Amino acid sequence: MNTTIYVMNEKTKEVVYKVASQADVEAACVEVSNAFAFKLADLSLTEMVKVNNRNGGKEVSKFRDRAAGEERLDELLESFPTFAGAPVPDAPAAPRKGKGKKAAPKPSPKGENVPAKPAKAPRKAKGVIDDAPTAPKARNNGAGVTESWKRKDVYAKRITRHRVSVNGTEYRSTMQAFQALDLPLGGHIKFRIALKEAGSATFEHNNEKYKFKAYKQEA
C-alpha cells in the first residue's frame, strides 16, 4: 500500500511534490497555491481520475476499481520531485558599492555639514553636493515564495512548531493528530492556521467533535 504523502493544487489537481517526511508537509504546503496534502488512499475514485488526467497520465473516464486507480497513480507520480525542505535563510548581503563615491559636503564655518535639502533651498555654493538619499528602486516581485523564506520574521513564523492536544490527548502537530484520528488531511492546513491564531478550535467530522488546543513546543 502506497503511504507516500503528495502535495497538489486543490483547484487544478496538479501535483507539485512528493514529501519525504511528515515534518516537511507544512513547509511544502506553504510553497504551493491552494495546497492540499493527501495520500492515494484519501482520494475518491472521481478524484483519482482528475489527478491522473491533469498530471500527464493516459486520459481515462473512470477506473474499474480503487486498486486499479491507486496502481496507475502510484506509477504516474513516482517520477515527481521530492520536496527538499525549507531553505535556510542566507546571511544578510553586504550593501552594494556605488559606481562612484560622492564627495562629502563641505563643512560650514562652524564645522557642521551643510543641510542636504532645507525647506526652502537657497542657491547652493559651488562645490557642495546634494547628499539627500535617492528613492529606492522598485523591488522585483517575481522572486516568489522561495525569496520570502529569506525574511527572518517570515522564516521564524513558518518554522515555529506547535504541539496540540485533542480531547485531552497530546500530539506533536496538527498533522499528526489528523492522521492518528483518521481525519481528512485536505482540511488540516486551513484548520491549523486558525488554530494557531485562536489557540483553540473545534473540528467536526462524521458528527464527532474534536477539541484542539495548541501551544508552542519548548526549545
Q: Which of 154, 158, 157, 180 is nearest to 169 (CA)?
A: 180
Residues of the chain with pLDDT below 50 are 128-130, 132, 134-143, 219
Residue 144 Rama label (left phi>0; alpha psi -120 to 50; beta): left
In angstroms, the CA 117 to CA 163 distance is 55
Instruction: Check if the beta carbon of residue 191 is closer than 8 Å to that of residue 166.
Output: no
pLDDT value for 145: 56
pTM metric for this prediction: 0.43
Strand order in the sheet with 169-171: 169-171, 162-166, 208-216, 200-205
pLDDT value for 178: 87
pLDDT value for 175: 79
pLDDT value for 67: 92
